[in-house]
């Protein structure tokens, strides 16, 4: 009897949602059943989460319902948490059940990496998803409200301490530089009492940008009240703040956020995949080594840049492109055709420094800073939204905020 192949996609982020949407266009309904499994019934723009965490955008702008962009009659939608993949039996164990597959796409994104720093998991917040970002926003506002109400006279309650000055840390303090003055006005607090401190182990920030752009970013953020502690490794996190440096200095804060690193989803390790620094080093066609029917995408994968001799950085830009290649390769597998190698098209890098500021390196080494870079960031954000949600979602949730 004919067995209709079942493709199961895990995760409705950039890579998983793009794969699923492309599959619905590339395959006829009778060619395969498609199942998309995601923890929530909504997709969120991970690249906007620092804005949700700072409270500079409404969290509903950063998410949309999956059923608004994928028709449930074409794709079976399951909202559940993936716990483990049994590759021998070809089944996925969920919190509330299990499902078998013929072809599997693992696109479960990243988790925070605290590198075993004592107290970090217990006492620091992280920007991971909508819920964790909302917690940060609410916690910061509560500190200001309590101080204003006289519940605390310790000014360090108003300090926001951010550990790690990679992209996430820098973009987050850029948003905080917008939000903190608003909170001070709202709660009648003198602006000089609220501090934003970014602690970084390396002597500088964002090494992928040229020095002039980095210098611009540091100056711009400092001008708006961000204090940098560069060359300062964090050794421990306590309920009061970070312990840093050789003299074990305590930097006290009411809000502590760790943006010091990420790793692949822990489901990979629990499922027995061979891992390198928490992710699967995939074959050039994006399949997991030794698994002809399993693709691993996005932040769960390392994809080797043959020219550079190192993996591409994990980004949304890359994850979307993984989704496109994976969908075409699934069609090729079903039709017995040769698979293609993933080829990354690098459209550049942009870091926002708040609503109307940023730095960028785009196309063939064109450098932008200030409003031009901020405008480019909005173009990039809107493009990703369009690729996943189409015109309707772009018009509803797109970024049109004036500077
Ligand atoms: P994600 O988009 O994170 O999606 C993973 C999905 O899997 C989510 O829907 C999640 O809910 C779901 N999921 C997770 N675990 C489970 C489970 N156990 N069961 C079921 N579902 C699960 N990259 C850029 O290119 N440009 C940027 O400007 C940029 N800005 C960023 C800003 C921030 C604050 C952060 C944190 C990252 C940023 N990145 C940026 C990196 C980018 O967001 C990631 O590389 C990208 O999200 C990876 O896509 P993904 O599809 O692998 O995972
Ligand atoms: P990251 O690994 O890029 O940066 C973490 C930073 O924390 C590093 O600068 C590191 O030196 C620092 N750090 C680590 N341990 C420390 C310690 N003990 N004390 C002090 N500092 C410490 O992580 P990220 O910023 O979360 O970015 C993750 C991925 O997401 C990256 O690959 C990045 O490219 C991508 N991303 C891209 C964008 C963008 O393109 N605009 C934005 C956000 C994230």
Are residue 196 and residue 218 in the same domain, yes or no? yes
Say whether 171 is catalytic: yes
CATH of the domain at 180: 3.50.50.100
Bridge pairing between strands 241-244 and 249-252: antiparallel
Are residue 132 and residue 227 in the same domain, yes or no? yes
Are residue 283 and residue 360 in the same domain, yes or no? no
Scored b (16 or more CB within 10 A) or e, 223-249 reads: ebbbebbeebebeebeebbbbbeeeee
User: Tens of pLDDT along 138-173?
Assistant: 999 999 999 999 998 899 999 999 999 999 999 999
Q: What is the largest CA-CA distance in the chain?
A: 75
Are residue 267 and residue 391 in the same domain, yes or no? no
Are residue 124 and residue 242 in the same domain, yes or no? yes
Order across the sheet with 97-100: list the strands. Answer: 82-86, 91-94, 97-100
| pLDDT confidence of residue 185 | 98
Name the closest ligand to CA 45: 1
Are residue 166 and residue 132 in the same domain, yes or no? yes
| pLDDT confidence of residue 236 | 98
Bridge pairing between strands 160-163 and 294-296: unpaired
Residue 75 falls inside a structural domain: no
Name the closest ligand to CA 231: 2
| pLDDT confidence of residue 256 | 98
| pLDDT confidence of residue 400 | 81
Residue 226 falls inside a structural domain: yes
Ligand 2 contact, 200 CB (< 6 A): yes
Catalytic residue among 45, 51, 111, 171: 171
Q: How many domains does the chain have?
A: 2
Could you tell me the distance, in angstroms and rounded to a whole number, from the CA of residue 258 to the centre of ligand 2? 10
Residue 151 falls inside a structural domain: yes
Q: Which among 275, 162, 291 has a CA at the least distance from the CA of 228?
A: 162
Q: What is the Cα 135 distance to its own chain's centre? A: 16
**Residue ranges in the chain modelled with pLDDT below 50:** none
Q: Domain boundary residue among 345, 378, 393?
A: 345
| pLDDT confidence of residue 401 | 61
Q: What domain range includes position 295? A: 6-39+80-112+263-345
Are residue 119 and residue 219 in the same domain, yes or no? yes
| pLDDT confidence of residue 402 | 52
Are residue 128 and residue 155 in the same domain, yes or no? yes
């Amino acid at each position: 009897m004919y067995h209709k192949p079942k493709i199961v996609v895990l995760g409705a982020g950039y890579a998983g949602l793009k794969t699923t949407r492309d599959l619905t266009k590339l395959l006829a309904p009778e060619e395969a059943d498609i199942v998309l499994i995601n923890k929530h019934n909504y997709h969120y723009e991970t690249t906007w989460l620092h804005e949700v965490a700072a409270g500079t955008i409404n969290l509903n702008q950063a998410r949309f319902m999956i059923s608004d962009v994928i028709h449930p009659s074409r794709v079976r939608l399951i909202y559940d948490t993936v716990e483990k993949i049994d590759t021998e039996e070809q089944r996925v164990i969920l919190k509330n059940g299990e499902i078998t597959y013929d072809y599997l796409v693992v696109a479960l994104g990243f988790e925070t990496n605290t590198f075993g720093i004592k107290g970090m998991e217990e006492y620091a917040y992280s920007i991971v998803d909508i819920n964790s970002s909302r917690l940060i926003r609410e916690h910061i506002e509560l500190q200001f409200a309590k101080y204003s109400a006289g519940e605390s006279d310790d000014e360090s309650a108003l300090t926001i301490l951010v550990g790690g000055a990679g992209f996430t840390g820098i973009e987050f303090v850029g948003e905080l530089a917008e939000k903190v003055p608003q909170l001070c006005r709202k709660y009648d607090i003198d602006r000089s009492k609220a501090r934003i401190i970014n602690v970084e182990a390396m002597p500088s920030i964002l090494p992928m940008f040229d020095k002039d752009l980095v210098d611009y970013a540091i100056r711009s953020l400092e001008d708006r009240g961000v204090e940098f502690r560069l060359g300062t490794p964090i050794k421990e996190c306590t309920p009061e703040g970070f312990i840093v440096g050789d003299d074990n200095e305590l930097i006290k804060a009411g809000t502590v956020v760790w943006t010091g690193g990420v790793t692949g989803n822990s489901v990979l390790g629990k499922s027995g995949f061979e891992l390198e620094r928490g992710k699967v080093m995939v074959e050039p066609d994006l399949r997991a080594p030794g698994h002809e029917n399993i693709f691993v995408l996005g932040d769960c994968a390392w994809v080797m840049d043959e020219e550079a001799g190192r993996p591409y950085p994990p980004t949304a830009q890359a994850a979307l492109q993984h989704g496109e290649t994976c969908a075409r390769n699934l069609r090729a597998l079903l039709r017995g055709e040769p698979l293609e190698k993933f080829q990354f098209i690098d459209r550049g890098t942009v870091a926002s420094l708040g609503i109307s500021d940023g730095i960028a390196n785009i196309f063939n080494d064109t450098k932008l800073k200030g409003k031009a870079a901020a405008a480019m960031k909005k173009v990039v954000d809107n493009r990703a939204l369009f690729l996943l949600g189409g015109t309707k979602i772009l018009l509803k949730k797109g970024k049109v905020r004036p500077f």
